Amino acid sequence: MDLARTDFYLDGQWVAADAGETVAVRNPATEEVVAAVPAGTAADVDRAVAAARAAFPGWADTAPVERAAHLDRLHAALSARADDIARTVALELGTPLKVATRVQAGLPLTVLHSYVELAARPPADETVGNSLVVREPVGVVGAITPWNYPLHQVVAKLAPALAAGCTVVLKPSELTPLTAYLLFDAIHEAGLPPGVVNLVTGTGPVVGEAIAAHPDVDMVSFTGSTATGRRISHLAADRIARVALELGGKSANLVLDDADLGTAVKVGVGNAFLNSGQTCTAWTRLLVHRDRYDEALDLAAKAAAGYRLGDPFDPATRLGPLVSAAQRERVLGHVARGLADGGRLVCGGPDAPVPDRGFFVAPTVIADVDPDSALAQEEVFGPVLAVIGFDDEDEAVTIANNSRYGLAGAVWSADEERALRVARRMRTGAVDVNGAPFNPLAPFGGYKQSGLGRELGRHGLEEFLQVKAIQR
């Protein structure tokens, strides 16, 4: 695998970046620089947007079945690169290779495949009285994505945007840009028409802001932190451009008194620690009935202690490093604050052993966390689980909803009807009952400060459509 990339993808071609600044890419498990990519400028964004604008009418007019055929070819080209994708994510992000293969490479392929069919069957025209209501693509989409699921976050925007007939300018995270190059190799091989998708790498303040503020970008689709989402909204508001935002989370895993505690805690810890806790939907607050609290803590501590830290390429590793030194310092700061605020360390913590090199944080469980404290309110984005007790169902729901976020969550009960009632009371975009499997066709997105709009499936495609009423 050749990691050196010196170009952007503009108007259907790899175009060498001016020999200017680059952004270094680090392996977080060794702290070594392993690659560099060009740091784009506002002028590079101008070229990418111009290419996307020029390609838009042709792509919007392409028959849905032809767009579906393009996505199918892209799926084949990307599938052929699945091993390289998993290895690249293990290298640039530190996700253990086994998880990277299943989630970081497997999930985007599943999502892309789902849009082959959805692209072929766009929403039908409707008749409302004397009006014909038609749906049309929004136009040029600026996609700005984070580092934690580098390919999935891109595909979750690109596939529905293309299926809807939009053209795209992508800026991947500067921390994990290498996977995007594999995607664009596949795009080139699949022969998508020039200008339909364009890649500019670089930093958020330069390339990201140039995309968000660009007068010719009709919609900005962003996944990342709530603070950046706010900034992008301000930039887009100046020209009343549409924004879709997938932001942070602080999701609750609500374990009722009649739940299968062993499964609920084991699955809950696994969810919280997936990708070293760098998952926006992570169930980072474990809410347990007080009658079963001590038992749950025991189970959580045992489960957490079983997460072996180490080299992402070692098959025995279950927990990789965090993405950067800055993230490690942030996460350790949250742990220290949680303990200072009265939390009780049950497992891990700042002094637990970790490998000498790499941005590792030990799997950590903190009990007796005050629901109003920073540890229960702030998104930590590391392998840190906060455990909170409750006395009854109403209190559990109140604690779960005591958050400015509302992205995901879980409920466990032996009585499914009871669990569903509780799920409906949770102010959050998704709830899993008794460990139900992930559904790639279900709408995904947040309530409150977790975002605006939905991704995935039919709902994800509709975000990229405008509605027009034609009276006759």
Residue 170 DSSP SS3: strand
246 is catalytic: yes
Least distance in Å: CB of 40 to ligand NAD? 11
The residue (of 56 and 381) whose beta carbon lies closer to ligand NAD is: 381
Of 92, 209, 246, 378, the active-site residue reads: 246
- Member of 224, 343, 358, 440 binding ligand NAD (CB under 6 A): 224
Dist. CA 64–CA 118, nearest whole Å: 9
- Member of 28, 108, 139, 208 binding ligand NAD (CB under 6 A): 208
- Comparing CA positions, the residue from 291, 294, 132, 155 lying closest to residue 221 is 155
228 binding ligand NAD? (CB under 6 A): yes
- Member of 62, 110, 225, 373 binding ligand NAD (CB under 6 A): 225
231 binding ligand NAD? (CB under 6 A): yes
Least distance in Å: CB of 208 to ligand NAD? 2
The residue range among 39-47, 66-74, 223-231, 344-352 that interacts with ligand NAD, by the rule CB under 6 A, is 223-231
Question: Side chain identity at 318, as an amino acid letter?
Answer: R
- The site string for ligand NAD over 406-425 (x = CB under 6 A, - otherwise) reads -x------------------
The residue (of 225 and 466) whose beta carbon lies closer to ligand NAD is: 225
Least distance in Å: CB of 226 to ligand NAD? 6
- Member of 209, 218, 378, 463 binding ligand NAD (CB under 6 A): 209
Dist. CA 80–CA 85, nearest whole Å: 10
The residues in 382-411 that bind ligand NAD, with binding defined as CB under 6 A, are: 407
280 is catalytic: yes
- Comparing CA positions, the residue from 175, 173, 148, 145 lying closest to residue 157 is 145
- Contact at 8 Å (CB) between 273 and 250? no
The residues in 120-179 that bind ligand NAD, with binding defined as CB under 6 A, are: 144-148, 153, 171, 173-174
The residue to which tokens 């509605």 are assigned: 467
249 binding ligand NAD? (CB under 6 A): yes
Dist. CA 419–CA 258, nearest whole Å: 10
The token duo for 102 is: 């299943």
- Member of 20, 191, 205, 342 binding ligand NAD (CB under 6 A): 205
Least distance in Å: CB of 114 to ligand NAD? 17
Question: Side chain identity at 17, as an amino acid letter?
Answer: A
* Cα dist from 333 to 56, 264, 388, 426, whole Å: 46, 28, 20, 29
Write out the DSSP string of 89-144.
HHHHT---HHHIIIIIIHHHHHHHHHHHHHHHSPPPPEEETTEEEEEEE--EEEEE
- Member of 218, 246, 311, 393 binding ligand NAD (CB under 6 A): 246
The residue (of 112 and 367) whose beta carbon lies closer to ligand NAD is: 112
In sequence order, the 6+-apart residues with CB closer than 8 A to the CB of 236 are 212, 213, 220, 242, 243
Dist. CA 403–CA 448, nearest whole Å: 9
The residue range among 24-32, 62-70, 105-113, 246-254 that interacts with ligand NAD, by the rule CB under 6 A, is 246-254
Write out the DSSP string of 17-40.
PPS--EEEEEETTTTEEEEEEE--
461 binding ligand NAD? (CB under 6 A): no
The residue (of 193 and 333) whose beta carbon lies closer to ligand NAD is: 333
Residues identified as active-site: 246, 280
Residues within the interface to ligand NAD (CB under 6 A):
144-148, 153, 171, 173-174, 203-205, 208-209, 212, 223-225, 228, 231-232, 246-249, 280, 379, 381, 407, 446, 450-451
